[in-house]
Amino acid sequence: MKYSTVKVNGLNVFYRESGDSSKPAFLLLHGFPTASHMFRNLMPMLENDFHVIAPDFIGFGQSDAPLHTDFDYTFENLTNYVEGFIKEMQLDKFYMYVFDYGAPIGFELAARHPEKILGIVSQNGNIYQEGLGSKWAGRQSYWDNPTPELRESYKSAFKPETIIGQYMGGEKPGSISPDGYTLDIHYTELPDYAERQSDLIFDYQNNVKNYPRFQKYIRDYQPEILAAWGKNDPSFVYQGAEAFKKDDANVEVHLLDGGHFVLESHWQEIGKLILNKWA
C-alpha cells in the first residue's frame, strides 16, 4: 500500500494506492462521514487484479480542507476536484466503486466521461427517488425553506453518537470494528468541519435534481453495475438498488444483511463479488 498526495487546482488530494499500475484501474469513492480509510480492508483483496486508488475528497480525511468561506463546498466542485485527480493520475479507463456521497460524484463523472467507465460497484450509492429513506422528507423541507435554525439542527449529523449509529445500525452485534467510526469522529473535531459539511448537506438537493441525468447515463450506456447494498440502511433503502434494473440490463443486485456501512462487516463478501465479476 502506498500513501501520497497530488496537487489538484492548488490543493493537496490525499490518496491510498495499491496494485500494479499495468492492471485495470479501480477508483474507490468514499462517502460521509468517512474517507478513503473505509476501503482499508477491501483494497488488499483487489490489489492482485487491479490498480486500486482511493482518494479523500477535498474537506475530508487527509486532503486539504479550506475554510467554507474560502471554498465552494458543493458536490459539483468536489466532482471537479476528483476529475482533476483522475487527470493527474492519468486514469484513462477505470472501474469505479461508489458509496453514499461518492455516488453523485461518481455518476456525474460517468455522465461527463462515459468512455472511461469499465464498470460500477454501487454500495448504498443511490441515484433514485425510490432509494431515499424517510429522513429525506425532512431534508426536503429544509431545502425548500432554509433557515439558520434548521442548518444548526442538522449539525447533529456530526455528533459521535450519530456517527456510531450510522456504523452500527442494521448490523449484527460484534460485527463492526470501532476503527472506522473512531477516526471519523476525530475528523469531525477539526476546525470548520461542521460548517463545510453543513454546506454539503444543503447542496445535496442538487444531487437529487441530477438523478434523471444519472439515470439517462445508465439507460444510454448500459454499464455493468454491481449493486452490493446493506439492506438494513435507513438512509438509502434497498429499493434504490433494485431501481437500477429499470434502466440497465447489465445490473447485478446483492442485498446484504447489514446497514449503511455494510462494507465494514461484509468486505470479504463484496470483494469476492467484485473479483468473480471482473477479475
Residue among 159, 171, 206 nearest 33 (CA): 159
Q: Which of 30, 68, 260, 266 is catalytic?
A: 260
Helix (H, G, I), strand (E, B) or coil at 119: strand
Buried b (16+ CB within 10 A) or exposed e, 1-40: eeeeeeebeebebbbbbbbeeeebbbbbbbbbbbbbbbbb
Phi, psi angles (nearest 5°) of residue 33: -100, 30
37 is a catalytic site residue: no
Provide the pairing of β-strand 117-123 with 11-18: unpaired
H-type helices in the chain, by residue range?
42-46, 75-88, 102-112, 135-144, 148-153, 160-168, 179-188, 193-221, 239-247, 262-278
Residue among 155, 137, 145, 166 nearest 196 (CA): 155
**Distance (Å, rounded) from C-alpha 55 to C-alpha 37?**
9
Q: Which three cell numbers stand for residue 256?
A: 446484504
Rg (CA), the chain: 17
List for the chain the helix, strand, coil content (%; round to 5). 50, 20, 35
Residues identified as active-site: 260
